[in-house]
Chain A
Amino acid sequence: MEGKGLLKELVRLPGGREILKCIQCGTCSGSCPMVEVMDYSPRAFFALIKSGQIKEAVRANTYWVCASCYFCSVRCPRGIKITDIMYAFKELSVKKGFYPKKEPTTKLYESFKEVIEKYGRLSEAKLMQRFAFKKPLLVLSKARLGLKLLLKKRIKFRVKPIKNIEAFRRVIQRTKELESVP
């Protein structure tokens, strides 16, 4: 029955109720740049939810590989804000801790988070270093590219954190506290 509970929860997500309006026309899938690497196309993903196969849906990588280009949202004939719903799903799955283990994007995003929490800003170099711990092979495959970029002075290894990094960390701290309280 977890599924049913989840569906209720999904429907309560911002724009979640809209999922129920879907007529399965497939405009979203046809417009989706990432559809080829998705376990289920956006449309099929919605079909799973509407038919109550919530567990299968949240296990899918669909919402993780969404590049958030908003093409589906622009074109959906039912006016469903699909991209926002994908975000809601990521959030939900993080909260519930059941996201597709094999999906590299999740790792990448975590590394991303770690970097900016540390420096306040992103550095591709630092990002890749951290990502390397999690997905060594994937990163290795990009080494040659990194070299090229280096030659073109398009990589900086040294990152200067933002001036007011302490205050910034305080903000993060406060945020975390606020998050823990519902």
Chain B
Amino acid sequence: MGQEPRIGVYICHCGINIAYKVDVEAVRDYASTLPYVVVARDYKFMCSNVGQEMIINDIRNYQLNRVVVASCSPRMHEKTFRKACEKGGLNPYFFQMASIREQVSWVHEDEVVATEKAKELIRAAVFRVIHHEPLEKRYVDINPNVLVIGGGIAGMQAALEIADAGKLVYLVEREPSIGGHMAKFDKTFPTLDCAACIMTPKMVSVGQHENIKLLTYAEVESVEGFIGNFKVRVRKKARFVDENKCTGCGECAKVCPVSLPNEFEYGMTNRKAIYRPFPQAVPNVFTITKEGWSPCRSACPANLNAHGYVKLAHEGKFEDAFALIMESVVLPATLGRACPAFCERECTRGEVGGSIHIRLIKRFIADWYYENVGTKPPFRVDELKNEKVAVVGAGPAGLSCAFYLAKEGYKVVIFEKEAEPGGMVRYAIPEYRVPKDVLAKDIEVIRNMGVEIKTNTPIGPDGLTIDELFAQGYKAIFLAIGAWKDRRLNVPGEDLDGIYTAIDFLRRVNSGERVKVGNKVAVIGGGNSAIDAARVAKRLGADVTVYYRRTRHEMPAFPEEVEAAIKEGIKFEFLTTPIGFEGNGKVEKMELIRMQLGEPDSSGRRRPVPIEGSNFKVDVDSVILAIGQVPDSEVFGKFGIKLNRDGTVYVNPRTLETSRKGVFAGGDAVTGPSTIVEAIALGRKAAYYISEYLKKGSLDDVNFPSSLPTVDKRRVLERRKVEVIPRVKIKELPVEERISNFEEVELLLTEEEVKKDSGRCLDCAICCECKQCVKACEAKAIDHQQKDEIIEIEVGSIIVATGFKTFDPTPLRRYGYKKYPEVYTSIEFERLNNASGPTEGKIVMKNGKVPESVAIIHCVGSRDEKYHPYCSRVCCMYSMKYAHLIKEKTGAEVYEFYIDIRSPGKMYEEFYNRVQEEGVHFIRGKVAEVTDVAERPEEEGKLIVVAEDTLTGRILRVPVDMVILSVALEPADGAEELARILGIAQDKDGWFIELHPKLAPVSTASDGIFLAGCCQGPKDIPDTVAQASAAAAEALSLIMRGKVEIESATSYIDPEICVGCMQCKSVCPYSAIDYDPSLGVCVVNEVLCKGCGLCAATCPNKAITLRHFKNEQIFSELEGILL
């Protein structure tokens, strides 16, 4: 405590604010009786000069060493009185304040109670101040850079003021362009000067100012530190366009196939996926809206960009579409016929009219290309390399791998054991699904890419070995040998003539052999090859029955194939399996047993179990066994390549490397029997890793380009109202024709049909990455790989100018917004009236006609406890601006439905008078409803506005052509989040709170953070700009001071008690605590400490004390209260 305390107590009347509830004299007299109190006085205004002098003199005359002032709140005047003490030669921390206004007179009705409470609070203050200790002042340097958040008129004004003063400003705007709401206006009240004329120059100078670092399409993610020293992380969202290269020429938008509602025009027009909000945008660059990958693309094993080529097909750009396809897959014409089209299963259109015919569109594109361009690859080899790569097997996987390696510039040779390339596609898939000439063209493209295919050249015992390939100088080998070995039943009689395996049977037919299957053919199995075999046998004139041991539900074959088979008259016997075959030499009878489904097996399908004694026999001329295939891979085992038990080749699932260095594998050889597109996908993946392997020698930190997240279908359907449009009907060859020959069953879509069906695409991902913009951009500015970037900046002060958003009146159903097309919100009308808006400033209805009468409804969402209780301040004025402009442009009758006209501003009332004189009808009454139900002839076909004219007490029904809702202003989206990041407060309506409504209108409770414009509350442009300049001035004065005094109440760690557990370090928000390993204790960095006290509260050993908030001080204060 040091020397004996001598305390002076001063009670403020605050005019009558305190005195009318608190008996100040009584309180004063009481105070003088408290311990150590030497003098107690009361005065009308303690904060006034006289009041302060009183304290200063007493300190001198009575040798006071402690002072207590009972008045308003510390936030209001603590600084004032601390200064006074200092003037009196007292350490400012020998001062304590008791709030008897906010805490007492303003909140108590009863005078006696109030007076008592005042006494208690003062007693507490006295008890506390006894234990106060002197603290020395602390200063920090001010970083002269300023951050301005929000690029509307407020943000721009503030930024310019500061930049012109020669200080560096970071201006962060989350939209692609600065300008904010004002950029949307045409004229401004009351002067009616055009917003663009006063706005655009400002925008330009902001864009060009050397002291302004403009960060558009960016958002503040976090703020650390305190006044003078803020560390800010800003996320610059990927624009997919290089701001420095883009010239804003707009060629990209011309070619972009994706259009969507234009946010800037509130959906009254459309924009492209690559866009610029408005022509005068700053920076004058384009931005791509990309929400991820469309479901179709993610669903495809090869991630083929279906969305992209569907859009291109819609535009008739089939050559570009072909190129886009070939970037991800080979054999497009084949896939266009025989792909299971996983994409179509995921297509969002599936829920509203049936999925797009993605596969058939691909087929059309490929066929079109071969017919009109030929088989030259759609792109050139990157640059030739010396390394040679060998590919074993010319199936889809092998061809795919070879093609993409060749594209990279490698020399690729494919070794194929069969006479023709194509693998299963060539030998197992029947002609009626993929005609051979189609496959030939697909392969031709691959050859033309520079791939050499050696047919009739098996690798293995009767051919070259892996070692020999390496010896011949091949640097890497890709095994794509497929899965050709049919599984067998292992039942008696399986070797009789007339029993084929599916692959063998199909291969023979596809090689042109006329296989004699006889009359009754039994196909065993439920996979795709079973169905293929059955449909082929049918075409050979047989009566075909498929026997499957499970039910149709478990069949692995594609449903559409099964459908077709049934159409073609093929019979199905489910839950039966053969247990033997009879006949001498040639099969004649097949014995089967019925099955039932038991427990699920490893494949998740229920395991079939035989039913005792359910055997039966059928006559057969031949049997085709289609019960699955495995790779024919033993030989490679001998070459020192590890195999799995089922005979598939073992690979590293990430890189597709086999157990032997330099040897990779893919396709059915690895996965077992699978789809063409999956094989192709693995082929391309292998090509990527092989190429990386050849470049780097190791694949440890190499990764296949990652995919983007899939767009959620729900979100797509919520984006806008989607009407149901059925898919184009596919034509098929009539059954009787098909079963007699091997003609393609599915017929081609016509060009018109392709364009029609592709037009149904919902653009799930918005940008479809068709790359048309890349082609069109001469500046080479577009970069589809761009990623968000995090920018770290350091500033000394922050100006928040995040503005507002307009109220959405949809919930006020009675006004018919979104129900009646001619009901607009005020901001929509701003665009409608704007020379650069959707109608070039013509005020017309959706039907193009000029309205003859317009009603403007005030206070929509304002002064309404169900929405916003406050007055939005600007609506009256802009509503009257509309009235004037409508009269001027259309001569229509205008009705202003108002509650009270509020025109408190320079020349505002005059403007009101002017509009009145122009003959606008002013009706005092809030509109009850807008309806289209006519009660009188003159109301037919109009919108009827119903309201009471409160001045005459009559209920009016006013028929009009157009209704404008003057909607409320509300806090911008994300205000809450920003408040959290900055540590500033919001009022109950969500606006940011200023430090003091009169004395500190642009400051916040967080030192160094200032407010400008509508983020603090609704206001018009003049007030906004004034406030912006004020905020700039605050920031500048801070900079000019260079130093600023900060809280002296810092915390202190007693090294004697501290055990160095570092819990304090982990909780400190200002990273002001370090661990000193030499002493094994924590130490507070006093410069950084803000005295928040978290550490003191956390320390398990009570080693930390927060100066000015010591236990004895606080306990003694409590004592004072509770006494």
Contact = CB atoms under 8 A, between A and B. Distances in A.
B864 A26 contact: no
A166 interface: no
A77 B863 contact: yes
Contact of A23 (B814, B863, B946): B863
A24 B953 contact: no
* Residue of B859, B927, B950 most packed against chain A (CB within 10 A): B950
B715 interface: no
A36 B899 contact: no
Nearest to B862: A77
Given A30-B947, A77-B864, A77-B865, A25 B926 contact: yes
A23 B926 CA distance: 10
A78 interface: yes
B948 A30 contact: yes
B553 interface: no
Interface in B852-868: 859, 863-866
Nearest to A78: B865
Interface stretch (A39-47, A113-121, A126-134, A145-153): A39-47
Contacts of A79: 865-866
B953 A41 contact: yes
A60 interface: no
Interface string B900-936: 1000000000000000000000001111110000000
B955 interface: yes
A26 B814 contact: no
Interface in B504-546: none
A40 to B, nearest CB: 7
Contact of A77 (B866, B924, B946): B866
Given A77-B864, A77-B866, A25 B953 contact: no
Contacts of B865: 77-79
A23 B865 CA distance: 12
A75 B930 CA distance: 13
Given A78-B865, A79-B866, A31 B953 contact: no
A77 B867 CA distance: 9
A29 B952 CA distance: 12
B866 A25 contact: no
B841 to A, nearest CB: 33
A24 B949 CA distance: 11
A36 to B, nearest CB: 7
Contacts of A29: 925, 928, 948, 950, 953, 955
B930 to A, nearest CB: 11
A21 B644 CA distance: 83
A106 interface: no
Contacts of B866: 77, 79
A79 B949 CA distance: 21
B691 to A, nearest CB: 69
* Residue of B928, B947, B948 most packed against chain A (CB within 10 A): B948
A31 B924 CA distance: 15
B600 to A, nearest CB: 57
A65 interface: no
Nearest to B956: A30
Interface residues of B, number: 21
Contact of A24 (B814, B928, B950): B950
Contacts of A30: 925-929, 946-948, 955
Contact of B928 (A27, A36, A44): A27
Contacts of B947: 26, 30
A35 interface: yes
Contacts of A40: 953
B928 A31 contact: yes
A156 to B, nearest CB: 36
A50 to B, nearest CB: 13
B857 to A, nearest CB: 11
Interface in A14-39: 23-27, 29-31, 35-36
Contact of A41 (B859, B899, B924, B948): B948
B1061 to A, nearest CB: 54
* Residue of A24, A26, A27, A77 most packed against chain B (CB within 10 A): A26
Given A23-B863, A30-B925, A30-B927, A35 B950 contact: no
B859 to A, nearest CB: 7
A36 B948 CA distance: 11
Contacts of B929: 30-31
A78 B929 CA distance: 17
Contacts of B899: 23-25
Contacts of A26: 924-926, 928, 947-950
Interface in A64-79: 75, 77-79
A79 B868 CA distance: 12
Contacts of B948: 26, 29-30, 35, 41, 43
A40 B955 CA distance: 12
Interface in B820-879: 859, 863-866
Contacts of A31: 928-929
A35 B900 CA distance: 23
A75 B865 CA distance: 10
Contact of B926 (A35, A36, A77): A77
A24 B859 CA distance: 13
Contacts of A27: 926-928
Interface string A155-182: 0000000000000000000000000000
Nearest to A26: B948
Nearest to A72: B928
A131 to B, nearest CB: 29
Contacts of A41: 948, 953, 955
Contacts of A23: 863, 899-900
Contacts of B955: 29-30, 35-36, 41
B811 to A, nearest CB: 12
Nearest to A36: B955
A131 B899 CA distance: 43
A25 B950 contact: yes
Contacts of A78: 865
B867 to A, nearest CB: 8
A25 B947 CA distance: 9
A76 B1019 CA distance: 26
Contacts of B924: 26
A44 B926 CA distance: 14
B104 to A, nearest CB: 26
A41 B956 CA distance: 13
* Residue of A24, A27, A30, A78 most packed against chain B (CB within 10 A): A30
B950 A43 contact: yes
Given A75-B814, A79-B865, A44 B953 contact: yes
Contacts of A43: 948, 950, 953
A155 B873 CA distance: 59
A43 B950 CA distance: 8
* Residue of B863, B899, B926 most packed against chain A (CB within 10 A): B926
B835 to A, nearest CB: 35
Contacts of A75: 814, 928
A41 B947 CA distance: 12
A36 B935 CA distance: 15
A38 to B, nearest CB: 10
B853 to A, nearest CB: 18
Contacts of B814: 75
Contacts of B926: 25-27, 30, 77
B674 to A, nearest CB: 62
Interface string B932-966: 00000000000000111110010100000000000
A45 to B, nearest CB: 10
Nearest to B927: A30
* Residue of B864, B924, B927 most packed against chain A (CB within 10 A): B864
A36 B954 CA distance: 9
10 contacts: A24-B899, A25-B863, A25-B899, A25-B925, A26-B925, A27-B928, A29-B950, A31-B928, A77-B926, A79-B866
Given A26-B926, A26-B950, 4 more contacts: A41-B948, A44-B953, A75-B928, A78-B865
- A-B complex: 3 closest residue pairs judged by Cβ atoms: A30-B928, A26-B948, A25-B926
